[in-house]
Amino acid sequence: MTTSFLLLILGLVFLIKGADWLVFGASALARRFRIPDLVIGLTIVSFGTSAPELVVNSFAAFQNHPDIVLGNIIGSNNFNLFLILGISGLILPLSVQSTTVWKEIPFSLLAALVLLILANDQWTGHAIDVISRTDGIILLLFFALFWLYLFRQVKKERLSSPAEPETSSMSNWKMAAYILGGLVILIIGGKVIVNSAVNIARHYQISEQIISLTIVAAGTSLPELATSVVAAIRKNNDIAVGNVIGSNIFNIFFILAISSLIRPIHFDVSFNRDILLLIGGTLFLFIAMFTGKVRKLDRWEAALLLIAFGVYFYFIT
Q: What is the mean pLDDT of residues 248-255?
A: 94
Can you give the residue range of the structural domain that contains 292? 37-160+207-316
95 forms bridges with which residues in the sheet?
A: 296
In a domain, 128, yes or no: yes
Write the DSSP string, 203-237.
Answer: HTT--HHHHIIIIIHHHHHHHHHHHHHHHHHTT-H
Candidate ranges 191-200, 283-292, 306-315; pick with highest mean pLDDT: 306-315
Q: How sure is the predictor about 235, in pLDDT bands with cuts at 50, 70 and 90?
A: confident
In a domain, 41, yes or no: yes
In a domain, 192, yes or no: no
pLDDT tens, position by position, 155-182: 776 556 554 544 556 788 888 899 889 8
In a domain, 199, yes or no: no
In a domain, 181, yes or no: no
Question: Which pTM value belongs to this model?
Answer: 0.83
The count of structural domains within the chain is 1
Question: Residue 281 belongs to a domain with what CATH number?
Answer: 1.20.1420.30
Measured torsion, CA atoms of residues 86, 92, 98, 104, in degrees rounded to the nearest 10: -30
More confident residue, 85 or 9: 85
In a domain, 64, yes or no: yes
In a domain, 305, yes or no: yes
In a domain, 88, yes or no: yes
% residues pLDDT > 90 (the chain): 35
